[in-house]
Amino acid sequence: MNQDLSSEQLHRLMEQEKVFLLDVRSPETFNQGHVEVKSPSSLINIPYFDLLKDPQASLTELIKNDTEHQLPKNENIIVVCARGRSAKSVADALRTLGYQASILIGGMQSWRDLDVSKAIIESTELSIYQICRVAKGCLSYVITSNGVAAIIDPARNIQPYVDLLKKLNVKPQYILDTHAHADHISGGRELANQFGIPYYLHPYDGIHPMDMLPATFSYEASWANKIYPLGNINIEALHIPGHTLGNQAFLIDQRYLCSGDSIFIQSIARPDLGGQAKTWTLLHYESLKKLMALPDTILVLPGHFSGPQEANANHTYSKRLGDLKNENAGLLEAKKSAAVFSEYILSHLPHFPPEYIDIKRVNLGLLVVDNEKASELESGKNVCAVSH
């Protein structure tokens, strides 16, 4: 196969078979985010400028002399760069040497914009769609019942939700954010404005935890245990402070839990992004205990995933609460004492991306940025989980 691939086509191919990726960007940009593969041996970073280090030699000669031993002979090699231009030169040189080579059209810029929607369940009574923002590791949800819909944690690019609602021919009724996000810019307000429906947030999250300034827009209060009737089912807000003070999970029809930033598949959310790590860790502990008391059969639908290794066979991200209680590194610690849990959390906090303070300002209307700045602020993969 020597056919170049769009980000959608590459994603589909990676779900079906093992592919070999050659990323030709600098190590610095590669480390800031790259296409993630299940098997680490299927991804290699050889910077384009390393391939051009001898101005006398052609790219083909340089690959032949220096790089050939690192590349598989009988697999299709997908070359990835920032926008698709240098990848093309490398793919051409590889083909000259007899390799099968393609490029990711539009490079990482296109991969960063990729959203993939998959059904968790589909019926008239209840349908749940998981919208995966692949590069960022963010998951959001469209819940429908009997012709109406709720959208949970929509991302900045609202088009996938607008398209899906249109395709399903359902009328949006609620926009719910589990919390004021720090890792990405919410599309909640924009969607709510577009459809003329309410945007809900827990009021504790309507205040920036560091600036101590309130949101500059009005929203509807999503208080603890508020019930959102949706068609034939109910969605219940569960207040689970810890990751943020106003953090919420949404229990759907008593069977599914949109856990937002609390329980992920392998890890749990970090409680330090408000600058109150010690105090909020104890709140987090109590909230996780509350969630773990729910029935084991509940299917947890997280707000993030850490990589494709967490995907189910049908390429969605979910797990039964009962299994998570026995496997999730953070929940295993939450079964112990508060002191042990605190020690675990405080020794497993990843770096605090400084842009997270500004992203939350944008989400509360305290800072206005243009599209270019918004993309720059949320360009990296999310760092919302405790390390595991």
Question: Contact positions toward Fe ion, by CB under 5 A?
Answer: 183, 261, 384
Please say which residue, 261 or 333, places its beta carbon nearer to Fe ion: 261
- Smallest separation, CB 246 to Fe ion (Å): 11
- Name residue 100's beta-bridge partners: 76
**Whole-number Å distance between alpha carbons of 234 and 218:** 25
- Smallest separation, CB 63 to Fe ion (Å): 40
- Smallest separation, CB 138 to Fe ion (Å): 7
Cβ proximity of 129 and 314 under 8 Å? no
User: Which of 81, 138, 258, 384 is an active site residue?
Assistant: 81
Cβ proximity of 147 and 170 under 8 Å? yes
Choose among 117, 118, 212, 136: nearest CA to 378: 136
Measured at the CA of 187, the angle between CA 182 and CA 193, to 5 degrees, comes to 135
**Whole-number Å distance between alpha carbons of 171 and 185:** 24
- Name residue 149's beta-bridge partners: 144, 172
- Smallest separation, CB 81 to Fe ion (Å): 28
Please say which residue, 5 or 240, places its beta carbon nearer to Fe ion: 240
Please say which residue, 87 or 334, places its beta carbon nearer to Fe ion: 334
- Smallest separation, CB 3 to Fe ion (Å): 36
Please say which residue, 139 or 142, places its beta carbon nearer to Fe ion: 139
Please say which residue, 36 or 183, places its beta carbon nearer to Fe ion: 183
Which residue's Cβ has the minimum distance to Fe ion? Answer: 384
Question: What is the residue-wise DSSP string for 288-356?
Answer: HHHHHTS-TTPEEEESB-S-GGG--TTS---EEHHHHHHH-HHHHHHTS-HHHHHHHHHTS-----THH
Told to judge if 81 belongs to the known catalytic residues of this protein, a careful annotator would answer yes
- Smallest separation, CB 192 to Fe ion (Å): 19
Please say which residue, 261 or 310, places its beta carbon nearer to Fe ion: 261
Please say which residue, 14 or 385, places its beta carbon nearer to Fe ion: 385
352 contacts: CB under 8 Å, gap ≥ 6: 272, 273, 383
Please say which residue, 86 or 186, places its beta carbon nearer to Fe ion: 186
- Smallest separation, CB 377 to Fe ion (Å): 14
> What distance lies between CA 41 and its chain's CA centroid?
23
Choose among 78, 79, 23: nearest CA to 47: 23
Measured at the CA of 141, the angle between CA 168 and CA 208, to 5 degrees, comes to 135
Cβ proximity of 355 and 382 under 8 Å? no
**Whole-number Å distance between alpha carbons of 373 and 136:** 16
What DSSP state is assigned to residue 219?
A: -
- Smallest separation, CB 243 to Fe ion (Å): 6
User: Which residue, chain included where needed, has tokens 């690192």?
Assistant: 70
**Whole-number Å distance between alpha carbons of 150 and 192:** 11
314 contacts: CB under 8 Å, gap ≥ 6: 118
Catalytic residues: 81
